[in-house]
Amino acid sequence: MKALIEAGVKPVDSYRPGENKRPWTFKEKLMLGLTPGQYLGQALRNPFNWILGLIFAVGLPLLAYRYLFGLGVVTHSSNDYPWGLLLGFGLFCMVPLSASGFMLGTTVEIFGRHDFEPIERLALLNGLLGYFFAVVYLLVDLGQPWRLAYPMVISFGPVAVLFLVAWHVATYLSVQVAEVSVAFFEWIGWLGGKRWVRKIAIGLTVAGIILSTLHQGALGALFLYSPGKVHPLWYSSAFQWILFFASSIPAGLCMVITVSTVIKHTMAWRCDRNFLDNLDYCTLGIAKGAAMGLFTYFFIKVIAVAHDNEWAYLATGWGFWWMFEMFFGVMLPIILFAYAIHHRLLWLVRATGFLTVLGICLNRLNTSLITFNWTIYQELPHIFEFIITITLLCIYVVVYRFILYRLPILYTWKEAPQEAVATEPVKTEPRVSAGTSTAPATSSP
């Protein structure tokens, strides 16, 4: 793609190719304004696509194998570990990493911090895709995925925490679709739809906060059903839901830092100045939020151990594993964030963001899989389960990239001028960002 742009090709970023030309057709927009030959050429030149192709060549047949012959052929069919890696990673890790949508939505829409607007859409998209793929993982793991809608329409089990998770994830998914649809409406050129969604933006954002609070917490509360199965250090009858909710905040924020870092290095051609110039400033702000979130989480984590008087477990093997997780996943990121933010070392902020993502994932895997059944035995998931998990993650990356290439997430859409004047006087000009990028320190809180 970089080579094509150097050769003078300009990817679609507006209503029409130039002055006095007809608007882009839908097909041209899909192809980024490239000719089929150019499009195929750039896809084939990208070595990452070859790696993806290799993974899909192994993973997709396995996925078909699972649907044709049942879960038994790709997992250990364990009755003691009903939830394996597909849920341990796919649901319990993907959902906290997708808390970014409601965090940045709240920052911009509720608290009116429009200086974070350049990264808001990326955070919303990250949330939407993360949730969507958590559901995709669920569809692979459920015994009868075609019954997914049963808790909504056929048979209600409102006592169950999972009922709450199902309803809230479904509702929140719709809320996020609405939030991201603004970018989609711009892209297809239906400004009426965009205006309508903007009108209910506050309502959507508040609904997002409510639903996120509850189901991020509910994922933790799911483990309240298994006291004794989850190791006491990862289990707290009083605080489990708060722990999951609190840790989802730094997880979601750090996921945005991580994704934006990858974008900055691999997809800079798709970003406009508004995004690139403000990225460092936004990253620092988000990192501050993440550091505070991590500290809160750390504090509650220690309170949870004290509350149940579990100090004695710290001297056991599981205790060392807990301290490993707490040190590398929580304490070290707090220290590194503090140092890096103070000295404005953006590379370190970004690396720490990634470390935090790994740390929170480790926490979820520890709770759902690694320390689960700690009194019985530990099970290593089937190799096919690993491959399917990685394959689904790659599909997530491909879909993510497909959308970022096209929708105005990283760049500002240049709308048809005559329509814009009539309907949307404030949104036509890209936000002036020179002030924030040259002196970010002055406008940070």
Q: Which of residues 162-221 bind other proteins (CB under 8 A)?
A: 162-167, 171, 195, 198-200, 202-207, 209-211, 213-214, 217-218, 221
Query: Does 307 engage in binding with other proteins (CB under 8 A)?
Result: no
**Least distance in Å: CB of 13 to other proteins?**
22
**Least distance in Å: CB of 340 to other proteins?**
26
Of 389, 376, 382, the closest CA to residue 230 belongs to: 376
Size of interface with other proteins, in residues (CB under 8 A): 77
Q: Closer to other proteins by CB, 35 or 237: give it.
A: 237
**Least distance in Å: CB of 187 to other proteins?**
20
CA-CA-CA-CA torsion sign (372, 236, 99, 321): negative
Q: Closer to other proteins by CB, 154 or 315: give it.
A: 154
Map residues 60-89 to x or -, x wherever contact with other proteins holds by CB under 8 A.
-------xxxxxx--x-x-xx-xx------
Of residues 92-121, those binding other proteins (CB under 8 A): 106, 109-114
Q: Closer to other proteins by CB, 205 or 363: give it.
A: 205
Query: Does 148 engage in binding with other proteins (CB under 8 A)?
Result: yes
**Least distance in Å: CB of 111 to other proteins?**
4
Among 155, 342, 347, 418, binds other proteins (CB under 8 A): 155
Note whether 172 and 131 are within 8 A (CB).
yes
Of residues 421-440, those binding other proteins (CB under 8 A): 425-426
| Segment contacting other proteins by CB under 8 A, of 145-153, 288-296, 302-310, 312-320 | 145-153
Within 10 angstroms of residue 27's Cβ, the number of other Cβ atoms is 8
Of residues 375-414, those binding other proteins (CB under 8 A): 376-377, 379
**Least distance in Å: CB of 79 to other proteins?**
5
Of residues 227-256, those binding other proteins (CB under 8 A): 227-229, 237-238, 240-241
Q: Closer to other proteins by CB, 372 or 396: give it.
A: 372
Q: Closer to other proteins by CB, 42 or 216: give it.
A: 216
Q: Closer to other proteins by CB, 7 or 432: give it.
A: 432
Query: Does 276 engage in binding with other proteins (CB under 8 A)?
Result: no
Instruction: Name residue 14's beta-bridge partners.
Output: 414
Map residues 327-366 to x or -, x wherever contact with other proteins holds by CB under 8 A.
----------------------------------------
Among 35, 174, 226, 438, binds other proteins (CB under 8 A): 226
**Least distance in Å: CB of 105 to other proteins?**
11
Distance CA(86)–CA(91), nearest Å, equals 7
Note whether 369 and 227 are within 8 A (CB).
no
